[in-house]
Chains A and B, each alone.
Chain A
Amino acid sequence: MPSSSQSSVGSGALSHAYIQHPSLRCNVPDSRGLFYDDANRLLICVTSDQVFSWETAPPFNPDVSPSVDSISDGPILSVRFSLDKKVIAVQRSDCEIQFFHRETKKTLTHKCRPGSESILGFFWSDSPLCDLAVVKTSGMDLFACDSAMNLRLVETKKVNVNWYIYTHESRLVLLASGLQCKTIAGFQLSTAGVVRLPKFEMTLATTESNSKPIISPGDVHLVTVYGRIYCLQVDREAMLLNTYRFYRDAVVQQGSLPIYSSKLSVSVVDNLLLVHQIDAKVVIIYDLFVDSRAPVSAPLPLLWRGYQGSDSSSQAANMENESAESSTSNENIVMYEDAWTFLVPDLILDQTNKVLWRVHLDLEAISASSSDRTSLLEFLQRRKLDANKAKQLCLGIARALILERRPATQVTQAIDVLVTAYSYSVKAGIYKELKNEKTTPTDGASSPGNERGRASGSSIDEEEEVEINVPSGPADEQQESQLSSPAISPDELYKFVFASVEETMVEESDYLVAIITEFLRSISAEKLKVDLNIYVMTIRLLAHSKRFAELSLFITNKIIEPSKEVALQLLESGRQNLRVSKLGLDMLRQLSLHHEYISSLVQDGYYLEALRYAQKRKVTSVRSSLFLEAAFASNDMQHLAAILRVLSELIPGFKETSEYYTFHGLLNETSSSVAV
């Protein structure tokens, strides 16, 4: 197991999720507030007449300076850049939104009818129908906006709205109405158009003390994992987090997660759901991919870690720890303090310190605390964010399973997981050796479709026909400097697992052969290919334990596929067993490796057969002295004479070589009776 996870255990600061230096810091004097534009992933800081914005794409660069735009003075309720970032929209009050064109400096003010309705908020959209959506108490107005910044109302959705939530990630807006705010109307404003979701009621338990609890916008979270869209809703009376999954034509409640804190927030990191139990100051991780609603790991605190350079978590320290204060940071971070805002999907904005954190997962720690390795491997194979780490962990687990001599069935399961994951990622086009470019939006688009294939058999098949997809778009783009998938190719499995354990396991070759067989079966079932060195290794192992009967079955049934390397290994291992070396010879012949075949025949003393073969196939590459020396060694002068004659015919100019003279001379000396 990786050392760093051990040390994190040792320091007593066990954790599965952490925030890490550097953070994104807004040192803007006279700041009037911090906003987050999730569509453009911008952290926005406003002063009385200026808008500062920072890109938040990972990794954070603390030295980057923000872009600055001037706007007119006034109150600011929210700020969002248009999707082309040419326009800054500022909500000034509950009836006024102002637009500033960053290049033309043109401004525009949009107002609603005061008194009868008020603006709850707005967001930009990339749907073909509209560019801007304004949510009001009376419904939602959809506007088209041209380059000259003229707003044109295209459609109005009339709904009573108490509050709404929207994430650009899901392109989904939920409008809450009703006395308890539990009646939800939803629209998806995706590139495919505007889709109205069926209305649904959220579940709320009632108690005697609170017969009419009300849902507030902070109690509802839209999360996107594995290309599926879920809504999570806190039910404080029942202490449950209800989950709903969105399909195009249905909204289905999918069970609930228990909660341990009345204050709650969620993050999504690498398709995992992190539920922050704020009062308890712990985070619980769930993987909604699996049917089980059991958490991935036990509740543990969120951790703060020092600079990235000191990657190891031994440097990490819990914030409640004194060591944190003594670190180079001058932030006075208190975990889960009230001023923390959780941003979609994985950011935390600390309003007090004016810094932005990103939540990370410690895959090493998670795997160290998991005992079911098959599901752990499945879990790791689903990780994309730190694919490299996940891959290394998977390799480590596979090696450990074999070295610990776990039951073959268990190892088989593990191998099957890795092989199917690889096969799947190759078919889906996700697997590439190394890639440095940005992921294309198709990644995001393809995943839900693939998802469906993989998730078959899960509890929601009935409604599976049409699923709401996560729209593709720039929001899905992520800078990736490394692997895009933790999938492990059969060649890598051979190299980093089987080859690396061979030496230690050589005395338990029976076991290792059984495992390799399962591996071969697994890759054959997925119609994959493997480095032929695994065959060479299998032959070595079988020969080592003298399982020659099986070795010949492996060869004749082509479990070990023929190749030159395999044939040579058979000859090598065949030194202990004639049958095996014959298998090697046969293979050389079948592969038409004439040179090797002839040389091996001569080595085995079948020099006449070898020469006959050479003569028929017109092979002249084998040293003629081989035949001659073999015949001379066997002291058969008749053979020697015959060989000289055949070679003279086979090789042009042979009679002029020194070899011919040498052996011809020897022949004449020893027996003058044999004519050449």
Chain B
Amino acid sequence: MGMASMSSSSSSNGESLKLCVFDLRRGQNEGQELDKILFFFPPDLTFSSQLSVIGLSEGLITFTRLFSPEAACEVIEAERHSHVFYESEPDIWIVMVIEKNKEIEAIWRVDALQKVLKEVHSLFVMFHGSIRSLLDKEPSGGLIRSHLYPFITDYLNDLSVGKKLQLPSFRETLKERCTVQMLTLARDAALEVQSLVGVLDSCAGTLRCHSLILFHDLLVSTTLSPDDTVDLFTYYVMRLTSNALSSGTSSWSYLRKGTSLSQTSSRSTTSPQLLVSTDSLPSGNGNGAAGRVIRPLQHNKWSKGKDGFLVTDIWGKDATPTIWLQKTEERVHLLAYQHKCLTLVLLVPTMAIVNGELDISFVKHQVTENASAKILKVEEKLSKGWGGENAYHVSGYRYLLVDNDTEVSRASPSGKVATLAKETLLAVNKLRETVDTEKSRTKEEKDMEICIRAKNNAWAIARLTRGKELYMALEKASDTLLDATDSVQSFSNRYCNGTFSMD
């Protein structure tokens, strides 16, 4: 089991996980406190209990803001609970309260938990727009609540196994959420890909289309900003890979691979989905004005059409999905085309679509007309160079590489990471925590090197240089610090263009 699991059943002894979204600008008058609450999990908790969680959080935020107006608290460690804070939009906070557990598996890193909150919010914004914009649209809050509730619930569903919710634990310490994993391309393949991008660019006439090209669960190319790329990539890995389509579950990936087996077992049956069953969701609430609430995170809603385009009825029958781009605040239609393990995600500006589905089918036609030869060629090239699941394994090393500028990460395959001793993983987790603290202390990019010797004599090493991070576990007990540094050095020279070399 790769994640810290906790029972979230309300019937058990207290809720082990609470998650809430609230708006500090609302409900400031006495008696209106409930207005603040935009989302609360578990939903069946009494309002007074909900308010006490939110009240405490709000108090802590207000208090810490006295000292640090720009960045209020990130985490509060109480005796039995941890409170993890994330300010998703100005004054809109997502707070996760988790029970501290005696179980060893329940050791996590705050930053990793924050990334979960960040991920769910980013995905929400991509599909629905910002929380604030929905609040502005309907100040009563009914609209936002009706959107947040199914969305976050569906998201949490992905984290649940059986009756338990799994949060990223120390076992996932060599993974980085909210980043994309990229396929390394040879130059000739890259040129073919870029040539395909050029064709996709102009599929909707003069207005330029953005596009992502993906292969298996790796990103091949993007024309979007890093943030938007991460959101779409995350959704792609969750729901759109050829694997996800065929099995109805998330495909394997660096982030989710570890649990895919247990997930499959829990989903393939219609066994008790503790969080929600589809029908139990309130569907009428606040829907009057906005029409039906779309639930893009529902399972088994995408399939591959005859023409190679992926179809779904999430946005309504025969309706083309639309999403928001963060960077440009532009609304775009999402078209996904799949050929074997190659997926193209084409984002057509809604401005370019005047005649609805007629124009959409024209764009689709343009894609099949102009790009199909190139798609075949790219697929062939990529398949030829495809190194499989363990392509980026470097023997002797367990590593995580993060580029914060491009929001790209690469890590040892999780199967290989799983071979590390628990002590090693805990040491790396500790190391990452140290780095996180150091990073949050100084906002500017720093060069840094930290080496930790674990109880089992393994080395955990972190190197940071100008926005790039390398974490590494070396489990050769006989290695001296010098040996370990040499190993890092040669890894850096061979696989990172010498970025982390410190000679």
Contact = CB atoms under 8 A, between A and B. Distances in A.
Interface of A: 408-409, 412, 510, 513-514, 517-518, 520-521, 524-525, 547-550, 552-554, 557-559, 561, 578-579, 582, 585-586, 589-590, 606, 609, 616
Contact of B187 (A408, A552, A559, A579): A559
A549 B498 contact: no
Contacts of B225: 548-549
B187 A514 contact: no
Given A549-B225, A552-B406, A586-B499, A559 B466 contact: no
A517 B222 contact: no
Contacts of A549: 222-226, 229, 406
Contacts of A561: 187
Contact of B201 (A510, A557, A578): A510
Nearest to B195: A521
A561 B187 CA distance: 9
- The prevalent SS among residues of A at the interface is helix
Contacts of B353: none
Given A548-B225, A549-B229, A549-B406, 5 more contacts: A557-B187, A557-B190, A557-B193, A590-B497, A609-B447
B234 interface: no
B188 A524 contact: yes
B194 interface: yes
Contacts of A408: 198-199, 202
Contacts, number: 76
Given A582-B466, A586-B499, A590-B497, A558 B187 contact: yes
Contact of B223 (A550, A582, A589, A609): A550
B322 interface: no
Contacts of A586: 497, 499
Given A409-B370, A582-B405, A553 B195 contact: no
A123 B466 CA distance: 83
A448 B191 CA distance: 34
B192 interface: yes
B208 interface: yes
Nearest to B208: A510
A374 B194 CA distance: 23
A547 B198 contact: no
A-B residue pairs, 4 tightest by C-beta: A557-B190, A514-B198, A521-B191, A579-B405
A510 B223 CA distance: 12
A108 B370 CA distance: 74
Nearest to B198: A514
B31 to A, nearest CB: 49
A525 B188 contact: yes
Interface string B492-503: 000001110001
Nearest to A517: B194
Given A524-B188, A586-B497, A589-B498, A559 B447 contact: no
B387 interface: no
B228 to A, nearest CB: 9
A557 B195 CA distance: 13
A558 B191 CA distance: 9
8 contacts: A412-B195, A514-B201, A550-B197, A554-B194, A559-B187, A579-B406, A585-B466, A590-B497
Contacts of A585: 466
A412 B197 CA distance: 14
Find the residue from B194, B195, B201 having the highest chain A CB count within 10 A.
B194
Find the residue from A517, A558, A586, A616 having the highest chain B CB count within 10 A.
A517
A582 B445 CA distance: 12
B7 to A, nearest CB: 42
Contacts of A510: 201, 208
Contacts of A517: 191, 194-195, 197-198
Nearest to A405: B206
Nearest to B404: A579
A524 B405 contact: no
Contacts of A558: 187, 190
Nearest to B185: A557
Contacts of B503: 616
A518 B198 contact: yes
A579 B467 CA distance: 9
Nearest to A518: B195
Nearest to A587: B497
